[in-house]
Structure formats: C-alpha cells, structure tokens
Amino acid sequence: MKQIEEIIVDEGFIAWASNQNSQLAFEWEQWMVGHPELKSKVDDAVKLFKNLKLKEKDVEGLLIEEEKSRLLKSLDISLKPTKVIAFKRYTWLMFAAACLILIIGSIYIFNLLFSTKIEQTAYGEIAERVLPDGTSVLLNSNSFVKYSANWEKSNEREVWIKGEAYFHVTKKSDHKRFIVHTDKFDVIVTGTKFDVVNRSNTTTVMLKEGGVIIHFPNRDDIKLLPGESINLNKDNSDVSLVKPSVAKEENVLAWVNKKLYFENTNMLEVCEKIKELYGLDVVLHTDSVRLKSKVVTGILPNDNLDVLIESLEATSDLKLIHKDNKLTINLP
C-alpha cells in the first residue's frame, strides 16, 4: 500500500496537487478513482504538500530579508544625496543577485527531494537498463520504471513500473529492501530474478529465482517460491481469491528472447497485444465475436513487426494489412 511519503514524491501527484493541466495529472486522477481506500492518505499528502510549499515560500522570504539586511550592513551608506542614488543602483543589483541565488537553490532542493528518474522503452523496443545499485532491468516494449532522484540515499530501493520488466536485483551489504510498486500490489524482493507485468488489463509476477513477497492493500501477503506466479486480470480481479500457481516460465519469459507465446489465444486478444507493444491503431473489418472464435497457438517472432504479422496470417485465415500506424483485420 502506498504510504504518504511515497505519494508525495509521485510525479502524477505533484502535477495534480499543483493544479497542472497535464497527462500526469490526468493519470493520477484516474489512479485515485481506482484506489478509493487511499483517499485519506492522499488528502494528508495534499496537506503536507501545501504546507511544504508554504514553508518554502516563508523560508525564502526570511532568507531574502536576512540577505537584504546583511547587504545593507556590509555597505557604508552615505547620507549625501549624490551617493544615495549610486548606492541604490548598486544595492538593487546585489539584491537581485541574492534573490536569484536563493531561487536557484530552492529549485535545486525541491528537485532533489521530489524529482524522479525514468528508464523507458519505445513501442517495439526491448532494452536493458541498469539502476544506480547495479540492478539489471530488461524492459519490454512500451514500458518504463521510475525511481526517486535521491534513490541511493533512501532507506529502501523503490521503483514504480508501467508495462513489463524482468528484474535481476543486486544484493546490497546494507540489506536495503528492493520494492517494485504496481497498481494492484507491491513486490517486496527477497530474491533476485523475477518478471513483473503492470498493464491496463493485467498485473502479474513470475518468480524465477530467490523469493518475493506480494503485499496487498487489503489482504494477507503472499510469498512466492521459484517457478510460481500470481495473476490479476479483468477475468480474475478479486484480490481475496488470488493464489500462487505454477508458471510456465518459457511462456512468460518468451519476450526476453524476442518471442511471443500464444496458447489458444483468440485473435481479439492477439490484436490487443500488438496494439500494446507496437502502438498500432487496430481496425476490425469483422465483428469481435467472429474474431474471438479465431485462436492462435504457437511461438512467434517479436523482433520484426512485419514478420510477426505475416506469421499471424499464416496461422489464421485472416487478412492483416499493416500501413503506416494502422493494422486492418479482414476476413479472407
């Protein structure tokens, strides 16, 4: 469950609390709709955020007054009119310079406390990223992980994920916990290698090596053993019923080897997967019921979109046309 200190450093929360008209603020509003149980903590975070902003202004004002007073005392002010004019000009320049230094300092401190770093991949891209502690993160296409800019100085190593990533966590001598935050639960790492999916319709974890604890907001934690996974999706959304199951590792991690694994997967879900990974607009020239009746089974290449589309055509009786950023599905 998100804590207040996690909420207040979230980019979406900061954008929303600052009344910004941005995508991050919109996504935060959508997140709050799906997490009504955290409303009280969000309200507390808003109060703390506004209080910090007010304190920042108060401190800034006091520092400016102190700086102004110090400057005035450090200069030998003459009462002669001719020198007063020159002094006012000089003092104004010094005062402006002091204010500028204070503003830059305030921005630096704010960024240090609240900014985040993001590692991401584009549509159709699979890439490895290395976190400051040496942890390796292999990102699937259209995915990102983000973490606090002062991550190494924090008590815990926390990352937030959208999309899919395969983690190989580096063990630290100071035993700082490594935590992956998803929309549905937190993954508390006690092992080293695992896969996490956090997309719009599904949130899953598959443990390859070591151990992880799945922490839910409103139920007991679940400890996974190597080879086990949990899965929350639109057909299995009741958290209280979630239990570990034996994972088909070669299927879950097919994407790591630039493959897509399908097992009796209907073409509607296949199209959603292509849209998710490649950002294509999918146009159906047949009704969704008929498309659901078409299923695909097999391991298909995922490192070339055109080859993938040709492979799908070969395994179905559908006609797929890829032009520009659009994929059109036709019956033959």
Domain limits, the chain: 4-114, 116-249, 258-330
Task: Give the residues across from 136 on adjacent strands.
Answer: 130, 168
Task: Give the residues across from 309 on adjacent strands.
Answer: none
The pLDDT assigned to 21 comes to: 61
Class at the top of the CATH hierarchy for domain 116-249: mainly beta
Same fold, 116-249 and 258-330: no
Distance in angstroms (rounded) separating the CA atoms of residues 202 and 200: 6
Task: Let me know: does 151 contact 157? Beta carbons within 8 Å.
Answer: yes
**Any idea which fold 258-330 has?**
Phage tail protein beta-alpha-beta fold (3.55.50)
Q: Which two tokens stand for residue 301?
A: 């290449």
CB atoms within 10 A of CB 32: 15
The pLDDT assigned to 80 comes to: 46
The pLDDT assigned to 164 comes to: 96
The pLDDT assigned to 182 comes to: 94
The pLDDT assigned to 324 comes to: 86
Task: Let me know: does 290 contact 203? Beta carbons within 8 Å.
Answer: no
Which residues are CB-neighbours of 141 under 8 A, at least 6 positions away? 121, 122, 123, 124, 125, 126, 163, 277, 278
Q: Which ranges in 75-206 belong to alpha helices (H)? A: 81-114
Write down the pTM of the prediction. Answer: 0.66
From first to last of its 332 residues, the chain has per-residue pLDDT tens of 566 667 777 777 787 787 776 667 767 777 777 677 787 778 877 777 766 655 444 444 555 555 556 555 555 544 445 444 444 555 555 666 666 666 655 554 544 445 788 999 999 999 999 999 899 999 999 999 999 888 877 888 999 999 999 999 998 877 788 999 999 999 999 878 999 999 988 999 999 999 999 999 888 999 999 999 999 887 777 888 889 999 989 889 999 999 999 988 888 888 888 989 999 888 887 777 777 788 888 888 888 888 888 888 887 778 888 888 898 888 76
**Beta strands 212-215; 245-246: pairing state:** unpaired
Backbone phi, psi, residue 127, to 5°: -150, 150
Q: Which two tokens stand for residue 277?
A: 């990974």
